[in-house]
Amino acid sequence: MSKSSDDDKPHLAGKVVTISDVSVEAGVSITTVSRVLRGDTKLSIREETRERIFAAVKKLNYAPNPAARSLRTSKSMAIAIILPEAENPAYAPIIRGAQSAAVENGYSLLVSYCGENQTADEIYRNLALNLRVDGLLVTTSQSEDEEILMPDAAGVPTVLVNRRTKAQSSFVIVDDSAGARLAVEHLISLGHRRIAHLSGPLTHYNSAQRVKGYTTALKEAGIDPDPALIVESGYLAADGRTSTQKLLNSCEPLPTAIFCNSLLVAAATVTVCRDNGLKVPDDMSIVSLHDGTIAELIYPPLSTVRYDLFEMGRQATFSLLDLIGGDGSEKKQTVLAPVEFIKRESSTVPRQVSVQLKR
């Protein structure tokens, strides 16, 4: 008998109150309740009646069943954000931003990590077909234009977050070129002329933009960009380690400053420089894109270009909701400006005599 869980632990079944209960309690029809509760426009109801309905709702502790509503309206009121497997702390504020914007509009946010054993195809298919989310926020698939098109192709409104492709999709990005300029111009103003850049894969739009901003800033200062000073890295600490070491090993003379593409990479760069006997910032200035808690926790504290990642998540969600609510013509491509350059202690004027590595 303890097995007939239907009666023992009703959970949310059985005692659940439906719209019909409310209509009985309020002495009106189901239709009226539904209309009042959804705030139906073109509805002129007696104030007294509407109050009676709200009273009944409150008394019975009623909440509409989302599954029933969803079945009827073909909208799940859920969106999903697809994230790479990576531990990059930059995603946390994006998620929080997206979540806040979603709930403000009555939507739920599903998180979905793009695991090893799933192709982008499978993920989109699962989210769109199986879960029937109303829209997708995509932070993965940086380079593969084809893949990124799929959700749109699958008919699910999609906006790219911190990504863009050549395709006509909605996206929200930060102007990485401007971000890179901010960082590099700071270094130049300090007197640096030999500035290296640890970039992401150059096939990624973001990384290409950063390289562009970096190059432009150098040229504007009359400095000829040295290809040897750009090393293609990833976005994580491990990437930063290997690429910094590579830079230090292969570069002659050494740069006096390094501009890194992410906090994690920059933190790793500081570490590797120190391991190689280079003092930061005296022997090597280091600046980074993004900003976050760890910028102030490492030593020396990192000079960074702050991006408002929380806002990016919010904006992306707003664009997505527009897309969902609209007729498909409201594709929006938002480019946020980097917030500011934050000078901390990882950057300073270059030494007069350039340092040499003991090899």
Partner DNA sequence: CTGAAAGCGCTAACAC
Partner DNA sequence: GTGTTAGCGCTTTCAG
Q: What residues line the site for DNA (CB under 7 A)?
A: 16, 18-20, 27-32, 34-35, 37-38, 43-46, 49, 62, 64-65, 68-69, 71-74
Q: Report the alpha-carbon distance of residue 151 to residue 323 in Å, rounded.
A: 13
User: Choosing among DNA, a copy of itself, none, which partner's interface includes residue 245 (Cβ < 5 to 8 Å by kind)?
Assistant: none
Answer for which of 59, 153, 299, 354 binds a copy of itself (CB under 8 A) is 299
Q: Determine the distance from the C-alpha atom of residue 129 to the mean position of all C-alpha atoms in its chain, rounded to a whole number.
A: 23
Nearest to 289 by CA among 217, 199, 169, 195: 199
Q: How many residues bind a copy of itself (CB under 8 A)?
A: 64
Whole-number minimum distance, CB 38 to DNA, in Å? 5
Give the bridge partners for 231, in sequence order. 198
Q: Does 44 bind a copy of itself (CB under 8 A)?
A: no
Alpha-carbon distance values, 294 to 17, 268, 280, 348 (Å): 49, 11, 16, 20
Q: Does 298 bind a copy of itself (CB under 8 A)?
A: yes
Q: Report the alpha-carbon distance of residue 194 to residue 191 in Å, rounded.
A: 9
* Residue placing its CB nearer to DNA in the complex, 32 or 269: 32
Whole-number minimum distance, CB 68 to DNA, in Å? 3
Backbone angles phi, psi at 139, to 5 degrees: -115, 5
Q: Which two tokens stand for residue 90?
A: 């930059």
Whole-number minimum distance, CB 48 to a copy of itself, in Å? 27
Tell me the helix, strand and coil percentages in the chain, rounded to 5: 45, 15, 40
Q: Interface residues with a copy of itself (CB under 8 A)?
A: 2-3, 5, 8-13, 16, 61, 63-68, 70-71, 74, 76, 78, 87, 89, 91-93, 95-96, 99-100, 103, 108-113, 115, 128-132, 155-157, 237, 264, 267-268, 270-271, 274, 293-294, 296-299, 326-329
